[in-house]
């Protein structure tokens, strides 16, 4: 059985997925689409695929089992709905959209089609995250602190709120998702964000610093600091409970207890693990293999929207209120 895979959006992150798929013996990369013709053509040439510049044509002409959607956050259009209607299993890069209503519409199409979905929350596939989750299973978390401090992303769409959603929605979402995965759902968000020092960047309208507080459903509290003003990249989380802490980044997990400290280093290529698991889930029909299906990405997205809303209003935002407002307005949820 060969899984016939297509790609829509073959810029930066798609190159990683393409390489992973090339190395997967169960996969044939059939077609790629990018609105920039020369990007579509050169990528297609590299992987022996058919190039497209219009995703509708790709979906009409090709028989696909699976599709990687790697367009920027503002550019999802109706890709998910149209692919789902054809029964194509979907890998959707995070963040899965910039508007609660359209993302819910997509989710409904996906549910109706019964397809398998995965999203780009790759940190869930870290072996050290699995270990941290197991360690926490019988523990009470008191609080968590996270940070995503990095460099500016030059890609033109990234600096605009209406195209990327800002750093917290677009990037720091990985940290939010990791906290949700390890600690549980977030109930309340209070955020301060500001454009403090990068305001001379042409066209920029997203905050370059942010400090975001959470209350989890469990009663645990947490915070994340976020910034793209830095010359280097640092990200990770620390989780504290009575007599223990877990310090986790992409490369290692440090567990500190009263009688000592243990460091466990990452062994897996978590992005490859993520992509191969998607293919494995399709081949076996076992969707439980997927650690971040579409609905999990949706839940994480809502927390990041709540943060933006809180930063705008200056008030705390209950994550559920985002859904309630929408439901009152449209009567569909
Ligand atoms: N999971 C991760 O770790 C990770 C890492 C990087 C990026 N991402 C996510 O992946 C997404 C893409 O990011 P990127 O860095 O690859 O962006 P990018 O700008 O490098 O690439 C996006 C590509 O999509 C193309 N495109 C835009 N609209 C299209 C359309 N309608 N049809 C076909 N092609 C279209 C663009 O021409 C571009 O080549 C973003 O949501 C980003 O957050 C995830």
Split at pLDDT 50, 70, 90, the class of 56 is very high
Choosing from 12, 44, 122, 158 the residue with most ligand 1 atoms within 8 A of its CB, the one to mutate for a pocket test is 12
Report the separation in Å between the CA atom of 91 and the middle of ligand 1, taken as the mean of its atom positions.
13
Asked if 195 and 206 touch (Cβ cutoff 8 Å), the reply is yes
What's the mean pLDDT in 140-154?
Answer: 98
Rounded distance between C-alpha atoms, residue 88 and residue 113, angstroms: 9
Query: What is the number of the ligand 1 atom nearest to the C-alpha of 8?
Result: 33
CA 75 to centroid of ligand 1, rounded, Å = 9
Query: What is the DSSP track for 264-292?
Result: EE--S-HHHHHHHHHHHHHHH--GGG-SS
Cα-to-centroid distance, 34 and ligand 1 (Å): 10
pLDDT tens-digit readout, 237-270: 999 999 999 999 999 999 999 999 999 999 999 9
Summarised one tens digit per residue, pLDDT across range 13-44 is: 999 999 999 999 999 999 999 999 999 999 99
Mean pLDDT for the chain overall = 96
Alpha-carbon gap, residue 81 to 109, rounded angstroms? 6
Q: Of all atoms in ligand 1, which is nearest to the CA of residue 36?
A: 37
**Distance in angstroms (rounded) separating the CA atoms of residues 12 and 163:** 16
Tell me which residue of 4, 201, 191, 151 sits closest to 83, measured CA to CA.
4
Q: For position 333, what pLDDT does the model report? A: 34
Nearest CA to ligand 1 atom 21: 11
DSSP label of 125: G
Name residues whose C-beta falls within 8 Å of residue 209's C-beta, 6 or more positions apart in sequence. 193, 194, 196, 197, 225, 226, 227, 229
Closest protein CA for atom 18 of ligand 1 = 11
Of all protein residues, the one whose alpha carbon is nearest to atom 7 of ligand 1 is 13
Of all protein residues, the one whose alpha carbon is nearest to atom 2 of ligand 1 is 120
CA atoms of 109 and 112, how far apart (whole Å) = 5
Angle at 110 between CA 60 and CA 188, to 5 degrees: 140
Which pLDDT value is given to residue 323? 80
Report, as an integer, the average pLDDT of 193-219: 98
Average pLDDT over residues 46-57: 98
| Ligand 1 binding residues, C-beta < 6 A | 8-14, 33-36, 39, 55, 70-73, 75, 77, 93-95, 120, 122, 155, 170
CB 252 within 8 A of CB 262: no
Residue 331 clears pLDDT 50, i.e. is over it: no
307 and 106 Cβ atoms separated by less than 8 Å: no
Kindly compute the dihedral angle of the four CA atoms of residues 278, 284, 288, 294, in this order, to the nearest 10 degrees: 40
Among 125, 213, 230, smallest CA distance to 176 is for: 213
Tell me the whole-structure pTM to 2 decimals. Answer: 0.96
User: What's the gap in Å between 86 CA and the centre of ligand 1?
Assistant: 23
């Amino acid at each position: 059985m060969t899984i016939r895979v297509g790609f829509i959006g073959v810029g930066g992150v798609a190159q990683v997925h393409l390489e992973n798929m090339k190395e997967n013996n169960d996969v044939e990369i059939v077609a790629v689409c990018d609105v920039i013709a020369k990007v579509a053509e050169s990528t297609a040439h590299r992987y022996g695929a058919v190039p497209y510049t219009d995703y509708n044509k790709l979906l009409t002409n090709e028989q696909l089992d699976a599709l990687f959607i790697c367009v920027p956050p503002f550019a999802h259009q109706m890709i998910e709905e149209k692919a789902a209607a054809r029964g194509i299993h979907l890998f959707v890069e995070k963040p899965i959209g910039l508007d609660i209503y359209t993302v819910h519409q997509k989710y409904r199409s996906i549910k109706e089609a019964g397809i398998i979905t995965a999203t780009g929350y790759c940190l869930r596939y870290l072996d050290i995250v699995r270990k941290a989750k197991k360690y926490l299973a019988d523990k009470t978390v008191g609080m968590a602190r996270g940070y995503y401090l990095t460099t500016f992303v030059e890609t033109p769409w990234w600096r605009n709120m209406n195209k990327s959603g800002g750093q917290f929605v677009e990037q720091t979402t990985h940290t939010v998702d990791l906290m949700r995965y390890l600690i549980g759902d977030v109930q309340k968000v209070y955020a301060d964000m500001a454009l403090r020092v990068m305001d001379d960047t042409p066209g920029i309208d997203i905050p370059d610093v942010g400090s975001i507080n959470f209350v989890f459903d469990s009663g645990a509290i947490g915070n994340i600091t976020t910034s793209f003003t830095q010359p280097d990249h640092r990200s990770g989380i620390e989780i504290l409970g009575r007599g223990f802490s877990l310090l986790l980044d992409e490369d290692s997990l440090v567990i500190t207890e009263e009688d000592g400290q243990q460091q466990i280093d990452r062994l897996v290529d978590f992005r490859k693990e993520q992509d191969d698991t998607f293919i494995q889930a399709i081949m076996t029909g076992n969707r439980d293999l997927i650690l971040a299906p579409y609905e999990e990405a949706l839940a994480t997205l809502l927390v990041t929207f709540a943060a933006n809303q809180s930063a705008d209003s200056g008030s705390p935002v209950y994550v559920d209120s985002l859904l309630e407002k929408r439901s009152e307005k449209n009567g569909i949820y």
